[in-house]
Structure 1
Amino acid sequence: MARPSGTYAMLAIDQREGLRAMMAPHQDGPVTDADLTHFKLEVIEALTPYASAVLIDRELAWQQALDAKAVDPSCALIAAADVLIPSADELVAQVEIDHEVVPAKVKAQGAVALKLLVLWRPGEAAEPRIAMVEEFVAICRQAGLASVVEPVARAPRDGSGWDREAAIIEAAKELGDRGQDLYKCEIPYYGAGPEAQVRQGCAALSRHVNGDWVVLSSGVKQDDFPRAVEWACREGASGFLAGRGIWSGTIGKPDLRRALREDAVPRLETLCNVLDKVSA
């Protein structure tokens, strides 16, 4: 999954209902599964020549991307192995391991890793989260695949107040040393606070995560993301596994391929340059 320098410049295109919600304001009528698949395949074809790995979901794009030979041969494959369960007020309210993703099968198709999203909520028991992560890591090890664990902090279900920044760190304390090969996490303060504050949060993550960790871009403004990646890497992160921070600006553009070429590709190249600068 890593580049020759040991850094990770990885593309995420495993969004499901979240992507549907992002696309909905830009078109008349409902966003169909076919619309989502089309967008994903265009993103994969345009951006994987510049990425060290790409994360793809089973439901909408895994087999389609393989059949279309959309993934550049230089780009490693990561399969999303999570079922995202909605509720009345959340697109993702609960997550389970997706046992329809068969490790041996996706490995034979070229996958080098599986990814699991984990929702971390204040006040909820740690044991079910820990058990799911440990089961997932064991599945990956047995199959000879790397494990990517992605804890995301969420508000309590009862709507009570909470501290997102503290939750990110608590999640790392709880899940950052469970045998995973790569830990994917949120950037403290969405990368928008003062540099010292953001870097302090990233340094705390480094203290609690055993092994390599990378950042995601959800919630971070596109133009802030490269700077946030640099700050995170200067405090111990090894790169990024991101989608929205790279391709979200192309959604709804009349010429998607041109938008990917002229907007998303330069953003990904800029991020790669950031990694090269930090690792030099």
Structure 2
Amino acid sequence: MLALTKNKLEALKRLSDEHGVIGALAIDQRGSLKKMIATGNASHVGDEGIIRFKRLVSEELTPFATAILLDPEYGIPAAKVRDKNAGLLVAYEKTGYDASDVGRLPDLLPEWSVKRLKEAGADAIKFLLYYDVDEADKINNSKHVYMERVGSECAAEDLPFFLEIITYDAKNDDVKSKEFAKVKPNKVIGAMKEFSKPQYQVDVLKVEVPVNMNFVEGYAEEEAVHSKEEAAFLFNEQSKATELPFIFLSAGVSAKLFQETLKFAKESGSTFNGVLCGRATWKEGVPPFAIGGEQAGRIWLQDTGKRNIEELNVVLKATAESWFRKITVST
């Protein structure tokens, strides 16, 4: 079980509902969001457009979320207008990675520390790590050391450490391919086993589901890689890989597929403790905002965006387990 300090326990409660389920909204995207807005023929909007869209999402959707995940570069104004009952997670990593850099090595925002993020109002720190369990030991060891540092910094400030793991294959860049779908379970489960070790001081894992549902029998858009039975077994194995609370990220899939995935996870015996869901909730609201402006974006969020998150909340109530069962409180 995870031993939490009293401060970390109270912080996690601020990020969860009364039952210990996390229904958080993620909008810490930076470079990718800028590209999404520019695609709507509004490239002139630039940084100001990112800030405005994040504010809109925070204003309109945090009344229906337990927390919001933001970045300190563009998200501070959005943090200030969030619902009073919504907790605040803040991203600590630089966005993206250098495509020319072997190993997708992590990097911190140089202007920030966990101490400063805490002073800015963060209830918890989130760090995104790209990880391939099968990559060279030299690369992975450097990532292990890096996460030990982040974990130690969070422990020193007594803030929960949410580690987001995005898996990849160093030998295959196409994560949507059938080939990657075959190796994804090993990548996801292997990474979870590694970063559940106590030296990283992770409090909550934010992870992908262990399979690409587009290659699961009954959900497959193309030729299936996994039968439903195999996929169910892998969801179960994922839960066995860690004693830490863990939550699912949406990975940009549609709202409908994400909801169906959560139902499948529950039926498979997964003990996941909530979600940190971003693009599945709000991404289709970017074009109205980019093309029609702030009011058009607000109208979309008040209608479809709200419906997306309320439907997700209904699914969460029926599927996610309480993280209360996975923790003890240290004195």
Give the aligned residue type for 1:188: P
Question: Whole-Å Cα distance in 2 between the matches of residues 202 and 18 of structure 1?
Answer: 29
**2:114 equivalent to 1:103:** yes
Question: Whole-Å Cα distance in 2 between the matches of residues 94 and 6 of structure 1?
Answer: 33
Q: Which residue of 2 aligns with 1:235?
A: 270
The one of 109, 118, 124 aligned to 2:136: 124
1:189 Cα deviation (Å)?
2.7
**2:158 equivalent to 1:144:** yes
Q: Which has the larger radius of gyration?
A: 2
The one of 220, 226, 230 aligned to 2:259: 226
The one of 211, 221, 226 aligned to 2:244: 211
Q: Which residue of 1 aligns with 2:195?
A: 175
Q: Secondary structure at the match of 1:205?
A: helix
Q: Is there any run of 5+ residues in structure 1 with no aligned partner, and where?
A: none
**2:125 equivalent to 1:114:** yes
Between structures 1 and 2, the one with greater strand share: 1
Question: Whole-Å Cα distance in 2 between the matches of residues 51 and 184 of structure 1?
Answer: 17
Q: Which residue of 2 aligns with 1:252?
A: 287
Question: Whole-Å Cα distance in 2 between the matches of residues 41 and 215 of structure 1?
Answer: 24
The one of 81, 86, 108 aligned to 1:70: 81
Q: Is there any run of 5+ residues in structure 2 with no aligned partner, and where?
A: 1-14, 218-227, 322-331
The one of 145, 149, 161 aligned to 1:135: 149
Question: Whole-Å Cα distance in 2 between the matches of residues 49 and 190 of structure 1?
Answer: 31
Give the aligned residue type for 1:184: K
1:154 Cα deviation (Å)?
1.8
**2:326 equivalent to 1:267:** no
Q: Number of aligned pairs?
A: 276
Q: Which residue of 2 aligns with 1:51?
A: 65
8 A Cα contact 2:87 2:123, kept in partner: yes
Task: Describe the superposition over 1:33-54 as per-residue Cα deviations: whole angstroms up to 9, x where unpaired.
Answer: 1111111110111111111111
Q: How does 1:11-22 map to 2 (within 5 A)?
A: 11-22=25-36
**2:176 equivalent to 1:184:** no
Q: 1:240 to 1:197 in 2, by over 3 A?
A: farther
Question: Whole-Å Cα distance in 1 between the matches of residues 254 and 136 of structure 2?
Answer: 29
Give the aligned residue type for 1:65: A
> CA-atom RMSD, angstroms?
2.4
Q: 1:189 to 1:144 in 2, by over 3 A?
A: same
1:141 Cα deviation (Å)?
1.0
Q: Secondary structure at the match of 2:43?
A: coil
Q: Using CA pairs under 8 Å that are at least 6 residues apart, name the structure with larger relative contact order, 1 or 2.
A: 2
State the percentage of identical aligned residues. 24
Q: Which moved more, 1:192-201 or 1:116-125?
A: 192-201
Q: 1:3 to 1:170 in 2, by over 3 A?
A: same
Q: Which residue of 1 aligns with 2:93?
A: 82
